[in-house]
Structure 1
């Protein structure tokens, strides 16, 4: 019997089980703030931001994962107060396995930033995100042992599976809260900390229409710290801890950024290098180039888990691109001549 043909569907089932236990993740997780916590929307210097990340994982030894994320955020002042709110949209696409298990998410988000200080940027933020998720399976690519006719694989034979539909649709929702502030000389340093609760409605997502199969809620603790070294350089630290059912993920690391140009307050370029680590899974070297309002990042997972005997330490390649800008409006609320709004 040609056994490898029967493994494609098994691989998809394993992917489905993994998807139930743990959400899709990125190594440049700081470039997907809404997937971490909807209350992190709007924590940037500027009025709007667009970010995209593409991930290609484990294709060195199997047809595994290709994932893309796109999010957009716009920050708005609230009347004559020092408060802000952010409107945002998260789009996610993921294709996994030989049978093309595909997930598409369209998730609008809203975040309110309550000012806690008239002296400097300090905000308590509450965010909500929710929308439509679709999962599909290409049954034409599914092969099982039931299609073995005794001598060879026969695609005309039924696969023996009781999948009722290759399409699953459901609504999903998340909520989060975060605190962010600036500190130090001229309030040049910034930090944030937050907590999020994802899949609060425990959506059903079974291809077999099994009501017992549902997404486990996920909790995420997130933090970030940006500290200046001098006028031209600074360190940025990021960390996330998440738990979903029996699965736990801890990821964090540090980036070092150096500004290029004669004026550190209005520099045209900057260069960043650093490393993230996903506990018991991967080391992730990262390089990043900022060109005016554009940021381009590149990372690669060096697998250090038990899977490295198969992957030869090869993991996931990731590319990120973001753009941040200002709208044509008068910023009246400033502190010491600088914008007084949520930032990081």
Structure 2
């Protein structure tokens, strides 16, 4: 009589296989989560964005990737930044808390990062921001949902406990990153490198977190440009592009955001080149956001355009941001040349 395995093991096997195929993660390599609203989660992308969009702000992000599978990969992130009110307006600080969790395998990774950015004006219209990030991380695997072979009887019943040695202690690590943003009131170019020290995340064997390199940029075209003072009416469209590489995985993204305040709509096409024998994956992220005073709410959904990515169920992402930006005070500082252009990237 063939041995029957509980549905959990089958779902777990499928979930792990799908994650490896779509994310391009090898047995000895870890990967970072990526967000479909990179401008709402801009501190995750590049520490140099600290203090560039708001005087201060806080953003809560939630991403549920591959929701149709058991044990979907869920990420929750809290980010905050503050431009220091000191002469010259050069300095900004940031805080980034991120937790990744996969319910099926009991995997959890938590990171807490401190960020610093320095802003300077190169010319009357061109400005530069450079940033640093240092993060402490802790990765662990829980065994509550695991079922091992010695717990399964011939009739399919599960008994316990298992005789397996569950000796995988949590892994602690330090990650260092840096980045720069060159920008004007209409366009920007971002370059960032994360995990410069390539920390080891392995439980029993070496498993490095590879260096993550990202380049992105965009240009905003105004149909109606916000005026000085308290005028906030804006109609614009912003084409964007990005390239990211981490270990053997890479992504190319192109997209367009359209803003007619207070609403922003966007569509970003993501191309994930072929990895091993897996065909190239194509994903379209559809983004919608609304702003009311200091509150921003954004939602995005990843639509799989390839067979595998469509079968895996895409991803839901929700962001909630509270921000403060004193336009009257900022206009005064600008006249006195004591402040820098506001980065023109979308808010979602």
Range class of TM-score, shorter chain: 0.7 to 0.9
Q: How does 1:47-126 map to 2 (within 5 A)?
A: 47-76=55-84, 79=87, 81=88, 84-117=90-123, 119-120=124-125, 122-126=126-130
Q: Please give the per-residue CA displacement for 1:108-167, whole angstroms capped at 9, x wherever unaligned.
A: 1001112212x34x222221101211112111211233433444354425364x653242
Q: Please report the TM-score for the alignment, with normalisation by the length of structure 1.
A: 0.82
- Name the SS of the counterpart of 1:142 in structure 2: coil
- CA offset at residue 217 of structure 1? 0.9
Q: Is the 8 A contact 1:126 1:178 kept in 2?
A: yes
d(CA) in 1 for partners of 2:106 and 2:219? 39
Residues 164 and 207 in structure 1, CA contact (< 8 A), matched pair in contact too: no
Quote the residue 1:229 is aligned against: 223
> In 2, Cα distance between the equivalents of 1:336 and 1:236?
27
Find the counterpart in structure 2 of residue 200 from structure 1: 196
Whether contact under 8 Å (2:245, 2:251) holds in the other structure is: yes
Aligned to 2:346: none
Which structure shows the higher strand fraction?
Answer: 1
Alpha-carbon separation, structure 2, partners of 1:41 and 1:254 = 23
Give the equivalent residue in structure 2 for 1:18: 25
Contact 1:295 1:323 in 2 (8 A): yes
Is 1:273 the counterpart of 2:265? The answer is yes
Report if the CA contact (8 A) 1:206-1:214 is conserved: yes
User: Where do 5+ consecutive residues of structure 2 fail to align?
Assistant: 226-233, 272-280, 344-348
Does 2:12 align with 1:6? no
Q: Distance in 1 between matches of 2:162 and 2:210?
A: 33
Equivalent residue number for residue 262 of structure 1: none
* Cross-structure match for 1:266: none
**5+ residue gaps, structure 1:** 183-189, 260-269
Report the alpha carbon displacement of residue 78 of structure 1 after superposing the two structures with TM.
Answer: 5.1
RMSD of aligned residue pairs (Cα, Å): 2.8
Change (3 A) 1:274 1:163: same
Counterpart for residue 168 of structure 1: 171
Matched position secondary structure for 2:25: helix
Deviation of 1:100 after TM superposition, in Å, equals: 2.0
- The worse-fitting range, judged by mean Cα deviation, of 164-173 and 195-204 is 164-173
Shift of 1:250: 1.9
Q: Against the structure 1 CA distance between its residues 148 and 301, is the aligned structure 2 distance closer, same or farther, given a 3 Å change threshold?
A: same
Q: Residue 281 of structure 1 aligns to a residue in which SS?
A: strand
**8 Å Cα contact 1:253/1:276 also seen in 2:** yes
Provide the aligned length of Structure 1 versus Structure 2: 317
Over 3 Å counting, the alpha-carbon distance change for 1:12 and 1:204 in structure 2 is farther
Moved more, 14-23 or 244-253: 14-23
2-structure distance, mates of 1:154, 1:60: 25
Check 1:11–1:35 CA distance in 2 against 1; reply closer, same or farther (3 A cut): farther
Query: Who is 1:284 aligned against?
Result: 285
Q: Where does residue 231 of structure 2 map in the other structure?
A: none
